[in-house]
Amino acid sequence: MSVPTLFDFNGVLVDDESVHLAAFREVLRPHGVSFDDETYTERYLGFDDAGAFRAMLTDAGQQPSDADVARLIAAKKPLYMELIGDSLVVFEGAREIVRRRAKVGTVGIVSGALRDEIEHALRVMDVREEIAFIVSAEDTTACKPDPEGYARGVRALRALAAAGAPVVIEDSVAGIQAAKAAGLFCAAVAHSYPADVLRAAGADVVALRIADLTDELLSP
């Protein structure tokens, strides 16, 4: 039976949240905005860059315009790419599960990351050919927990005539909420949040690591 898979990216396939955190802090430092690691995880981790910058500035008592947010995103992009360099950390088992899932159905990426960041990581992982399509931050107007990204992913699967009910693999509360709001089966990995938090957010299946997700667990 064919089962399509929609992977989130940051925190699911690659361990780069510390790089994003460092880049956010560097870009926001001249604006007098700072936050601790716990606040980043609890408040901002599920956002795309636009949503995160807007929330960070708003929480700091500022009122950013769309142009302000766009400038910050543009400033963060090369900084992230410089920091990540050739030292991208791929979660153990991530390459293998992408290749395995591509053998049983169509595979797509639905992420709040920028397309260049995703493309770079997929090339480093040597799994780009297994990915049928990417829904990135540039493709949506609302970030998770809004279901827009997953709704676009479902439409992309339909356009490819992909058979079967899609399975989502997520790591964040916002991502789980987005997947469930789109009416999708969602498996979560406890890379970024404790397992009980992911279950409370509505995940259908929770594994400690992506390497622990078997095909049996990913059967809706």
Amino acid identity, position 114: L
Q: Is 96 found in the same domain as 180?
A: yes
**pLDDT digit string, tens, across residues 51-107:** 999 999 999 999 999 999 999 999 999 999 998 886 789 999 999 999 999 999 999
Q: Is 206 found in the same domain as 102?
A: yes
Q: Is 203 found in the same domain as 172?
A: yes
Q: What does the H/E/C string look like for 78-109?
A: HHHHHHHCCCCCECCCHHHHHHHHHCCCCEEE
pLDDT at residue 135 above 90? yes
Least confident window among 1-5, 22-26, 86-90, 134-138: 86-90
Q: How many CB atoms lie within 10 A of CB 158?
A: 10
Residue 51, pLDDT score: 94
Q: What is the DSSP letter of 137?
A: G
Residue 84, pLDDT score: 87
What span, in angstroms and rounded, lies between the C-alpha atoms of 219 and 164?
10
Residue 219 in domain: no
Q: Is 115 found in the same domain as 93?
A: yes
Last residue of a domain, one of 84, 105, 129: 84
Least confident window among 18-22, 89-93, 134-138, 167-171: 18-22
Domain membership of residue 54 as a residue range: 17-84
In terms of Cβ atoms closer than 10 Å to its own Cβ (0-12, 13-18, 19+), residue 90 is middle
Q: How many domains does the chain have?
A: 2
> Quick one: pLDDT band at residue 1, thresholds 50, 70, 90?
confident
Residue 39, pLDDT score: 95
Last residue of a domain, one of 66, 84, 102: 84
Q: Is 41 found in the same domain as 132?
A: no
Q: Is 93 found in the same domain as 151?
A: yes
Q: What is the mean pLDDT of residues 108-132?
A: 96
Average pLDDT across the chain, whole number? 95
Residue 179, pLDDT score: 98
Query: Which residues, 6+ apart, have CB-to-CB distance to 175 below 8 Å?
Result: 8, 46, 144, 145, 168, 186, 188
Residue 176 in domain: yes
- What order do you get walking across the sheet with 185-189 strand by strand? 133-135, 107-110, 5-7, 167-170, 185-189, 205-207
Q: Is 45 found in the same domain as 140?
A: no
What CATH number corresponds to the domain at position 23?
A: 1.10.150.240
Residue 217 in domain: no
Q: Is 200 found in the same domain as 154?
A: yes
> For residue 155, what are the β-bridge partners?
none
Q: Is 149 found in the same domain as 189?
A: yes
Residue 220 in domain: no
Residue 210, pLDDT score: 98
**pLDDT digit string, tens, across residues 177-209:** 999 999 999 999 999 999 999 999 999 999 999
pTM above 0.85, yes or no: yes
Last residue of a domain, one of 26, 55, 84: 84
